[in-house]
Amino acid sequence: MTSPSHSDDDLIGLLRASAGQAEPLDLDARVLARAAMRRGRTRRALQAGGGVLAAAAVAGGAWLYGTHGTTPLPADPAPSVSPTPAGRPTAGPFADDPTMARLPVLDGVRPGVVPEGWVPHEVSGLRLAVPDGWSEVPKEAYPGDAVQADRYTGLWRQDETMRLAGPGGARVIAAESARVASLSPDNPPRGHLLREQARVLFPVTGSDLAVASLQGRFYDGMALDSAEIQLRAADGRGYVVVATGLDALEDPDTLVKLLGTLTLTHEAHRPMPVTDVPLWEAADQGISEGWQTLREGNITVAVPEAWTISDGRAYGPTPEFLSFGRLFAVEPMSTAQAQHRLETPGAEAVLVSSDAPDHLQVDQPMIRGQVDIRLPSGEIVTIVITLRDDEDGATLFRQMAGTVRVDP
């Protein structure tokens, strides 16, 4: 039989257009998600059924939309985008933002509704629910694939992160996000490492920003099996929620239902003021003679003369190093996570924390320091410093953190 004319390129093109189109698209993200989930199940069934059948189906392209001639699947509902303002920011910095006005609103989300049989969870003022039977996952090496691990390892290993695992590798992680709290039209939500995405708005009571990026991964074609949600309480805290592996679930509406369970508590609207973080009186904010400068934009930091600077990083005696956080997809710390604060001209605040890293494969104790420079634009620039966990390392960390400068 003749295969449908649809191809991966068609879907990829639609995703690419959704991010840059000047006018709202005729895009129903539920339809895309349903198609991707059916494709994932069809792909697994074909693979389980034998190599010849799988190879024939993939070569013919019929598996893309689940339209194999002998087992037709129910048709999707007609694509639609909500014409109502529900889900669009009506207050806060994004209320009149033209970028938000161009994004479609995801239909079918029922704010505050927890489906029967789902179990609620809470983290730092954000409540969400997942189907009964999901389990909490301990902090360990990120279990996702390499592409997702590059983006989400930092979020995953935070002590305050909620980590939930469902059947077939489905996962949901959620945490407070200083980056989302800082977003504005001048510092807008951005895509990350996953290469294609369809971005949609959805309604959450009490929020001034709720955007979900339905993301694709490239394996046997394109599959929309994950979503990154950026959510902020009005005048309050920001959050990141990441759902992956949803094509493993039987319910194609899992994502839409999950979005409906997102609820902001009173805690979400009461962020910790940055001035509550104690000033780091022990930090030396001078720069020692002979130290070298490392730059990222208008941010500089100094390292000892004996260190080597290469490709935006600085290396001391192995395994000590300093790097700007963008090279490691590091999440900025929330105000509550900060241990110290520095006052630096040109910055709204410079926040500092340190801990014992659990991911370095070395034979000696180390400290992992983080310095977040919060700029007036809302942007947060992060510096990561890894040093030996001894008195000399602690002294060097204080000295290096104190050398941060913001050029006018």
Q: How would you write 106-142 as a 3-class SS string?
A: CCCCCCCCCCCCEEEEEECCEEEEEECCCEECCCCCC
Domains identified in the chain, total number: 2
Domain endpoint, select from 269, 290, 310: 269
Task: Choose among 145, 132, 373, 356: nearest CA to 245.
Answer: 145
Looking at the structure, tell me whether residues 248 and 296 fall in a common domain: no
When pLDDT is cut at 50, 70 and 90, the band that residue 350 belongs to is: very high
Do 317 and 254 fall into the same domain?
A: no
Q: Are residues 195 and 288 in the same domain?
A: no
CATH of the domain at 195: 3.40.1000
Q: Report d(CA 343, CA 327) in Å as an integer.
A: 25
State the pLDDT at residue 200. 84
Q: Which one has a higher pLDDT value, 358 or 376?
A: 376
Query: Do residues 230 and 308 both lie within one domain?
Result: no
- Name the H helices within 182-321: 254-261
Q: 243 and 119 in one domain?
A: yes
Confidence (pLDDT) at 244 = 84
398 within domain boundaries: yes
Burial (CB count <10 Å: 0-12, 13-18, 19+), residue 120 = exposed
104 burial type by CB count under 10 A (0-12 exposed, 13-18 middle, 19+ buried): buried
Three-state secondary-structure class, residue 377? coil
Looking at the structure, tell me whether residues 116 and 234 fall in a common domain. Answer: yes
Q: Please check whether residue 231 lies inside any domain of the structure.
A: yes
User: 175 and 283, same structural domain?
Assistant: no
Region 367-374 average pLDDT: 93
> 219-251 pLDDT, tens per residue?
444 344 678 899 999 989 999 998 988 777 888
Given a contact cutoff of 8 angstroms between Cβ atoms, the answer to whether 106 and 212 are in contact is yes
Task: Mark which of 224, 244, 269 sits at the end of a domain.
Answer: 269
Q: What is the pTM of this model?
A: 0.67
Confirm if 28 and 14 have CB atoms less than 8 A apart: no
Whether residues 317 and 244 fall in one domain: no
pLDDT of residue 277: 94
364 vs 321, residue with greater confidence: 321
Domain encompassing residue 104: 80-269
261 and 353 housed in the same domain: no
Does residue 57 carry a pLDDT above 50? no
